[in-house]
Structure 1
Amino acid sequence: MILTLPYETLLRYVYNELPPDEQEEVEQHLLHDAELATACADLLLAQRTLDDLCQVPSARATANVLAYSRTFLAAG
């Protein structure tokens, strides 16, 4: 693949961190470079997969941590 954009720029595009003019530039590159578009699609899939794996603690676990910290601070 001939990367016509810096990899960092492509990552910033995937995470919606580019100003509108740079975003438009990336989209133009994606329209004309199939390999770059494939790389972008792979990054978007990886991002979605990682987002799906993100877990948050249960409400009970959070309450336990907060209760412990209050006890610890009160004993301080």
Structure 2
Amino acid sequence: MIKTFTHEKLIRYLYNELPAEEQQEIEQSLLHDPKLASHCADLLLAQRCLNDLRTAPSKEVTDSILQYSRNFLRP
């Protein structure tokens, strides 16, 4: 029998937020369900892409904002 998992549960699996029993359940299903394994691989790729995103502005952007704000401070 192929067990289905919610999108949320798969994401929790990728972030290691599931109890050990549920984690083992998913791992067993991944071994026998190529569609689930493919979906999980897509989620893993998305997770890695999100982790690589820049979380702070570049120096050029910061300098531009500061220069813009200085223009309002001048009389």
Question: TM-score, normalised to structure 2's length?
Answer: 0.66
Aligned to 2:19: 19
CA contact (8 A) 2:3 2:29 kept: no
TM-score (norm 1): 0.65
Q: Distance in 1 between matches of 2:10 and 2:45?
A: 14
- Equivalent residue number for residue 48 of structure 1: 48
C-alpha distance after superposition, 1:35-68 (max 9, x if no partner)? 000000000000000100142368xx7xxxxxxx
Return the structure number with greater helix share. Answer: 1
Give the number of the structure with larger relative contact order, counting CA–CA contacts within 8 Å between residues 6 or more apart. 1
Provide Cα deviations, 1:4-52, integer angstroms capped at 9, x if missing partner: 2122211110111101111000100100100000000000000000100
Unpaired segments ≥5 residues, structure 2: 63-75
Quote the Cα distance in structure 2 between the aligned partners of 1:12 and 1:54.
23
Aligned length: 58
Secondary structure of the residue aligned to 1:4 is coil
Query: Partner of 1:72 in structure 2?
Result: none
- Mapped to 2, the partners of 1:43 and 1:32 lie a distance apart of 18
Query: Contact 1:3–1:36 (CA<8 Å) still a contact in 2?
Result: no
5+ residue gaps, structure 1, are 62-76
Tell me how far apart the structure 1 counterparts of residues 11 and 25 of structure 2 sit (CA, whole Å): 14
Two-structure CA RMSD over aligned residues (Å): 2.0
